[in-house]
Amino acid sequence: MKNKVLEVLNEEFPNPECPLIYHKDYELLIAVMLSAQCTDKCVNKVTPVLFSKYDIFSLKDADVNDICEIIRPCGNMNKKSKYIKVIAEELVDKYNGVVPNNREFLESLPGVGRKTTNVILSTLFNEPYLAVDTHIERLSKRLGLASENDDVRGVEDKLYIYFDNIESHIKLHHQLLLYGRYICTAKNPKCVTCKLKEYCKFDLE
């Protein structure tokens, strides 16, 4: 099954890329934080505006109300605008504005949990981490790669064991995410055309 899953993922999404637009390391960090309970499409609309006006150093001293207005379409703008300010302050004060390869530091930032940290470490530093979001969690459980009662960390740990000798975890992350987002969807999954249906533990037709 493992080889079949990888074969299908490579057929459907041979060259997956990070869907978030960024040009600097801190831009990715803030974009991923903003994507919580928000679509990538929406984040990609506000971040170019935000980063054309501020860099990481000026963000530290920016008016939180101005940040709030810029990121308003992302939702939870009051909390997220404050998160951005603190993230900027921490990066500037402790790492001269550079995002470090440091899980403990990253997870200490507001709005940045394990999932976001995994995205940053894998994307920026090519570390072998998988960021399990709702799409990957759903797909993993339907395919029996994880148990229905597994929490997000449990799903992540089982995926590491299952895909223990793959070339790129970041590629796999994007492939699993895209398969869950566009094929094995939460509502009206495309079971008829799904090439992994024979392994699915939840026949939803």
Residues marked active site are found at 115, 133
**C-alpha span between 150 and 114 (Å, rounded):** 16
Q: How far is CA 148 from CA 24, 141, 154, 162, in A?
A: 38, 6, 10, 16
**C-alpha span between 141 and 158 (Å, rounded):** 11
With 0-12 / 13-18 / 19 or more C-beta atoms within 10 angstroms meaning exposed / middle / buried, residue 108 is exposed
- CA 106 from chain centre, in angstroms, equals 14
What the block records as the tokens of 86 is: 């603190």
- CA neighbours closer than 13 Å in the CB half-sphere of residue 68: 8
**C-alpha span between 199 and 193 (Å, rounded):** 13
* Residue the block writes with tokens 């566009």: 182
Q: Kindly report the three-state secondary structure assignment for every residue of 1-28.
A: CHHHHHHHHHHHCCCCCCCCCCCCHHHH
